[in-house]
Chain A
Amino acid sequence: KQEVTQIPAALSVPEGENLVLNCSFTDSAIYNLQWFRQDPGKGLTSLLLIQSSQREQTSGRLNASLDKSSGRSTLYIAASQPGDSATYLCAVYTNAGKSTFGDGTTLTVKP
């Protein structure tokens, strides 16, 4: 059974700091991995989708990497801003579309 772990559960950083969020999964036979952002009381917003054949994806200040063999993905946020405060979740998918979500990392960026 696939298990997805996100450590730490919570992270607090000062504005302007670069930071890394971690996602690990136990079964490396994934089809892709997706990072989401969730604001309090809201739904999820897709940030980056990495296919299993890719090593990384970038969107603005966000960069997500994927190492299937080690069962790890990281989300790098450059020059963090208070508006980046949210919960970040990763999800892995099989080629049949079955999803497994991590419990998320709650990020607080202090002005």
Chain B
Amino acid sequence: NAGVTQTPKFRILKIGQSMTLQCTQDMNHNYMYWYRQDPGMGLKLIYYSVGAGITDKGEVPNGYNVSRSTTEDFPLRLELAAPSQTSVYFCASSDSGMHRTEAFFGQGTRLTVV
């Protein structure tokens, strides 16, 4: 049981480049989330999904896109990377939503945009 798996662990992008952060969970959870964490700060919600085919914006969605074609996968797409997107990105999943049940987090993707 791997839990929540994120790839890659590290990435350096040039300004204007695009990339996809991958997230997979093997717990059959309905809810999946993408957060970003800037140094010394808490987490800010980018996008979330309550099930396959359903996604919604969080607190800081600008510059990002998501899709949820399967229960297991929730990729995060960065288009036209900007230095302000330098951060650590965490994917999380929860059976009935973090507000009801325990959340499980991936190890994070450390992204630097130069």
Which residues of chain A have a CB within 8 Å of any CB of chain B?
A: 4, 9, 31-32, 34, 36, 41-46, 49, 89, 91, 93-99, 101-104
For residue A68, give the distance in angstroms from its CB to the closest CB of chain B.
14
Give A102 to B44 CA distance when docked, in angstroms.
10
Contact B99 A44 (CB under 8 A): no
Given A43-B90, A49-B102, A97-B98, check contact A89 B43 (CB 8 Å): yes
B40 nearest in chain A by CB position: A103
Give A94 to B16 CA distance when docked, in angstroms.
36
For residue A16, give the distance in angstroms from its CB to the closest CB of chain B.
28
When distances are taken between beta carbons in the complex, the residues of chain A under 8 Å from B102 are 46, 49
B47 at the interface (CB under 8 A from A): no
Give A98 to B47 CA distance when docked, in angstroms.
11
Contact A32 B99 (CB under 8 A): yes
Given A89-B43, A101-B43, A103-B40, check contact A44 B97 (CB 8 Å): no
Listed by A's residue number, 13 A-B pairs whose Cβ atoms lie within 8 Å are: A32-B99, A34-B98, A43-B107, A44-B90, A44-B103, A46-B102, A49-B101, A91-B43, A97-B98, A99-B45, A99-B98, A101-B44, A103-B41
- Kindly identify, within residues 1 to 32 of chain B, every residue whose CB is under 8 Å from any CB belonging to chain A: 4, 31
B96 nearest in chain A by CB position: A97
- Kindly identify, within residues 58 to 114 of chain B, every residue whose CB is under 8 Å from any CB belonging to chain A: 90, 92, 97-108
